[in-house]
Amino acid sequence: MKVLFVGGSGNISSACTTRALEKGHDVYHCNRGTRPIPKEVTLVKCDIRNRSGAAAALKGMSFDVVADFLSYTPEHIETILSLFEGHTRQYIFISSASVYNKPPLHHVISESTPLHNPLWKYSSDKILCENMLMDAYRTRGFPVTIVRPAHTYDNGFIPLPFQSASFTIPKRILDGREMFVHGDGQSLWTITHSRDFAVGFVGLFANPNAIAQAYNINSDEVFTWDMIFKMIGDALGKKPNIIHIPSDFVASVNTELGAALLGDKAYSSVFDNYKIKQTVPEFRCVIPFHEGLRESVDWLLADPARQKLDEKLDKDIDEVIAAYKGR
């Protein structure tokens, strides 16, 4: 099958590319070509935010599957529809598990949980994208499949409440500096390795039952945030210096950090993964978090150039902690 990844060399899409190649697919990437890609992949080099440039690069091409990791807003979906409608047999939209109702309505989240999250723009925009795509299906038969990953990681990505691709919080831990964990650290969180996710994801390719359907593709391993920080500390070889701060206090000091908590991580997120297991029988998560995490941390520690820091996040965390202690 001829498969195009919009993105393809990212945190989740790299493992999906590897899996698609293992499954014998003819894989194309549509990205700007700034990162290494497997030699078997054909690169369609363009900036997807430049619609006319992307249209020129993709001219005359059609695919069995287009898997889009890069759409976040209705404007992005307009570009996608203009580029791929009539040129693919299936379009897979990478949405997010953060689209589900906040605060939660039930302690287990399934695909039929209502989509409603006005607390985080990232999520409310993903809902608008899903609505546009389902409307394109209903009115014109656009063959969309929606996938809603929860927190999904690979090398270089440490699942954290903020900026998992940044080394800022791990560095605070290594330096013995304080880090806050939201709430009492006891809310539940689901974390999935990209290689496990990829099995379910690629299993949806060209599956006629997957058209106009949405899927959770997550691990059944669930942890409290205190456990997650303990495991991160174990992998780094340094006990985290943790202070617990209520999420609404964080939001009162910093709206951006607050939105990432009150619109997502403040609530327990446990998923019903029955539908993907039924549709893709080989999907089963086999990478325990403590092992995948150690692999990712070792990868980061092996080369300081991989340890990207964000001064603003570091400062924001300091400000929240100082405000909490001074209240």
Ligand X SMILES: NC(=O)c1ccc[n+]([C@@H]2O[C@H](COP(=O)([O-])OP(=O)(O)OC[C@H]3O[C@@H](n4cnc5c(N)ncnc54)[C@H](OP(=O)(O)O)[C@@H]3O)[C@@H](O)[C@H]2O)c1
Give whichever of 35 and 106 is closer to ligand X, judged by the CB atom.
35
CB of 320 to ligand X, least distance (A): 22
Residue 47 binds to ligand X (criterion: CB under 6 A): yes
Whether the link from the prior residue into 38 is cis, omega within 30° of 0, is: no
Residue 32 binds to ligand X (criterion: CB under 6 A): yes
Cβ 191 vs Cβ 182: under 8 Å: no
Q: Which of 8, 161, 200, 292 binds ligand X (CB under 6 A)?
A: 8
- 3-state SS of the chain: helix, strand, coil percent to 5? 45, 15, 40
Q: Which of 22, 40, 42, 49 binds ligand X (CB under 6 A)?
A: 49
Give whichever of 225 and 249 is closer to ligand X, judged by the CB atom.
225
Q: Which helix (H) or strand (E) holds 325?
A: helix 311-325
Which residue has its beta carbon closest to ligand X? 10
Rounded to a whole number of angstroms, the CA Rg of the chain reads 20
**Measured distance CA(223)–CA(230) in Å, rounded:** 11
Q: Which of 13, 145, 187, 269 binds ligand X (CB under 6 A)?
A: 13
- List the interface residues with ligand X, window 88-107 (CB under 6 A): 94, 96
Give whichever of 8 and 161 is closer to ligand X, judged by the CB atom.
8
- List the interface residues with ligand X, window 252-291 (CB under 6 A): none
Q: Which of 25, 133, 142, 149 binds ligand X (CB under 6 A)?
A: 149
Residue 93's φ and ψ, nearest 5 degrees, are -95, 125
Q: Which helix (H) or strand (E) holds 189?
A: strand 188-193
What is the DSSP-derived secondary structure letter of residue 310? -
CB of 152 to ligand X, least distance (A): 4
Residue 7 binds to ligand X (criterion: CB under 6 A): yes
CB of 252 to ligand X, least distance (A): 26
Q: Which of 2, 11, 188, 243 binds ligand X (CB under 6 A)?
A: 11
**Measured distance CA(104)–CA(297) in Å, rounded:** 31
CB of 214 to ligand X, least distance (A): 13
Give whichever of 178 and 272 is closer to ligand X, judged by the CB atom.
272
Residue 70 binds to ligand X (criterion: CB under 6 A): yes
Of 173, 151, 161, nearest to 262 by C-alpha is 161
Owner of token pair 């060399």: 9
CB of 97 to ligand X, least distance (A): 6
**Measured distance CA(276)–CA(291) in Å, rounded:** 24
Measured between alpha carbons, how far is residue 47 from residues 73, 83, 87, 120, 130 in Å? 16, 13, 19, 26, 22
Under the rule (CB under 6 A), what is the footprint of ligand X?
Answer: 7-13, 31-35, 47-49, 69-70, 94, 96, 149, 151-152
